């Protein structure tokens, strides 16, 4: 009787151990991926605005921007919706590191998953190995005849210990991809600040 119980215990422990390890890893990944979002009508730049225009001719006051970054397994799905912009026009759009500021330079460089070690504050990354739509988040959008448009992208990473602070709309109609210019898109014309959505059952994280 005692021998049979011991054998059963050993079998149970061996059978359960690999399952327990694998489960722990999956749970941690699911809990740490952050959902980011932002929405607002553009205002003139001021100290407290979270959606502002730097160029009222190309990004009129009152235009609306809405964006969401939703994690799914090891990827993040991003969707941008715009309205009130100029009709039938392309706009280059990216995720940037910092929240919006009245000074567009303070919005920071492009958010990169793997940060280009050669980039500096004066010379942002233009190396296509880092400045590309799989390592950054590009949401270039084209408007219809009413000035509305939607763009989507999926990137092969999630936000855990850090994430972007804003999306920035640029003057160029499309983001450059060639070496030495990769990621460039001309002057910054509008900005929308991102904040972390509050997942169910998890402590809320502050806005970035
Ligand atoms: Cu940009």
pLDDT (tens digit, 9 = 90+) per residue, 99-119? 999 999 999 999 999 999 999
- Quickly count: other Cβ atoms within 10 Å of residue 166's Cβ: 26
Burial class from Cβ neighbours inside 10 Å (0-12, 13-18, 19+) for residue 45 reads middle
Q: Report pTM.
A: 0.81
What percentage of the chain has pLDDT greater than the value 90? 75
Cα 130 to ligand 1 centre (Å): 14
Q: Report CA(199)–ligand 1 centroid distance (Å).
A: 28
110 CA → ligand 1 middle, Å: 6
Would you say 192 and 128 are in contact if contact means Cβ atoms under 8 Å apart? no
> How far apart, in whole angstroms, are the C-alpha atoms of residue 138 and residue 95?
7
Structure token pair of residue 105: 């330079």
Residue 4: its pLDDT value, please? 55
Whole-number Å distance, alpha carbon 124 to ligand 1 midpoint, is 11
Ligand 1 centroid to 105 CA: how many Å?
A: 11
Question: 30: CA distance to ligand 1 center in Å?
Answer: 29
Tokens representing 96?
A: 């940037």
Tokens of 55: 């160029």
Say if residue 63's pLDDT is above 60: yes
Ligand 1 centroid–CA 17 distance in Å is 47
Cα-to-centroid distance, 171 and ligand 1 (Å): 10
Tens-digit pLDDT profile for residues 149-177:
999 999 999 999 899 999 999 999 999 99
């Amino acid at each position: 009787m005692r021998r049979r119980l011991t054998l059963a215990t050993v079998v149970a422990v061996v059978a359960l151990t690999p399952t327990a390890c694998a489960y722990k890893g999956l749970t941690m990944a699911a809990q740490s991926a952050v959902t980011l979002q932002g929405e607002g009508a553009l205002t003139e730049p001021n100290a407290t605005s979270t959606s502002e225009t730097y160029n009222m001719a190309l990004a009129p006051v009152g235009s609306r921007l809405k964006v969401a970054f939703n994690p799914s397994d090891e990827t993040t799905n991003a969707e941008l919706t715009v309205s009130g912009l100029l009709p039938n026009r392309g706009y280059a759009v990216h995720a940037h590191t910092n929240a919006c500021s009245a000074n567009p330079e303070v919005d920071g460089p492009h958010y990169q998953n793997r940060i280009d070690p050669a980039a500096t504050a004066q010379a942002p990354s233009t190396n296509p190995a880092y400045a590309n739509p799989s390592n950054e988040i590009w949401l270039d959008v084209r408007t219809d005849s009413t000035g509305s448009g939607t763009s989507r992208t999926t990137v092969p990473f999630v936000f855990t210990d850090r994430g972007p602070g804003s999306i920035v709309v640029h003057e160029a109609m499309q983001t450059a991809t060639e070496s030495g210019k990769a990621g460039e898109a001309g002057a910054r014309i509008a900005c929308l600040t991102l904040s972390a959505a509050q997942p169910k059952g998890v402590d809320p994280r502050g806005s970035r």
